[in-house]
Copies of this chain bind each other. A is one copy, B any other.
Amino acid sequence: MVTIGDVARAAGVARSTASYALSGRRAVSDEVRERVRQAARDLGYAPNAGARALATSQTRVIGLLAQFLPDEFAPAMLQYIQGVTNTARDAGYDILLSSDPDGPAALKRITDSRMVDGVVLLNVAEHDDRLPVLRAAPQHGALVGLPGDCTGVDVFDLDFEESGRSMIAHLHTRGHRELLLVSQPEHVIERGGAYVWRLQNAALETAAARGITLHAVYGSSAQPEIGRELHALLDAYPDATGLLLNNEAAAAALPTVLHERNLSAPEDLSVIGRYSDEFARTFSLPFSSIESAPDRLGRMAVRQLVRRVEKEVPADAPYVVRFVSPDLVDRGSTAAPPPAD
């Protein structure tokens, strides 16, 4: 391989000079700089990443800790990964992707061995086993998802409380008085998926305050189970006029369920989901939805992380917890309830 020594020799200068000429971290005469650059180009020089990391203690790699959980809907996960990966690239960082089911072990390994300058944790749980590892690590971390304890990390998440409130308010305003809410499976909560109850509790509170009957249930995160459950739910509450979905699989299954019941939205049933626009397009979902903004959250997390890694932010700058306000994308699936018959 061609090293900086080869470049220096070709340019007739010392290795240090070649290094400075290339990095610009010290003044170099125009003539020498040009000679060095030319030599580097001619030889096809590329700095060895390991050597540079050893010398600078910087890898320009960000660790991305994803997890493909059997009770999460994988296509939704993909959006976050893309958001993080694209932003990192634009900022000049590569992504080391871990999908190890043993998140804490994977995180410990890549931070201990200094493979990364910082990490982004996806799908963060209320009590996330990866957090103690992250706090003990010398690298910074940014989370997508709100844990119970945010000390020492930057946190980004959708405002699920506000999402729940606005879903209810939206339908209440249009005259609905009995609604259904399908959340993620209960074991997602048990695993610490706080966003499930954050949205649900806020929805229940708002419903109570507004005199709305809200039936909140947990649904499967896989087809075809969730389709059957939706049927059962609609059978059980025939008077409900609106359906709220905090469950991607349920949203994906709903068009078929409505077809099978010969219902349409919003004529027979108003529907609001919570998923990304990209997700809506992939699954051709015609329902209005709270934008879950995975690309935006991924971008925010990476940006903040890079700011810390590159010390653009003072070392004692307080850690941030930032919520993205829910945005309702109107796809015309809500209206006044149908006249009672």
Contact = CB atoms under 8 A, between A and B. Distances in A.
Interface in A92-116: 94-100, 109-110, 112-115
Contacts of A53: 49-50, 53
Interface in A31-54: 44, 46-54
A74 B86 CA distance: 15
A5 interface: no
A50 B114 contact: yes
A47 B96 contact: no
A227 interface: yes
A110 to B, nearest CB: 7
Given A82-B99, A223-B283, A138 B74 contact: no
A51 to B, nearest CB: 5
A252 B259 CA distance: 15
Contacts of A64: 97
Contacts of A96: 61, 94-97
Contacts of A253: 284
Given A1-B138, A94-B96, A96-B94, A114 B283 contact: no
Copies of this chain, complex-wide, total 2
A222 B49 contact: no
A23 interface: no
B59 A50 contact: yes
A105 to B, nearest CB: 11
A281 B113 contact: no
A132 interface: no
Interface in A255-293: 255-256, 259-260, 281-284
| Range of interface residues on A (Cβ < 8 Å) | 35 or more
A68 interface: yes
A75 interface: yes
Contact of A94 (B73, B115, B223): B115
Interface in A171-226: 222-224
A89 interface: yes
Contacts of A61: 96, 115
Interface string A122-152: 0000000000000000100000000000000
A294 to B, nearest CB: 12
B113 A47 contact: yes
A262 to B, nearest CB: 10
Contact of A113 (B48, B89, B95, B256): B48
A307 B75 CA distance: 31
A81 B98 CA distance: 11
A78 interface: yes
A114 B78 contact: no
Contacts of A74: 75, 78, 82, 282
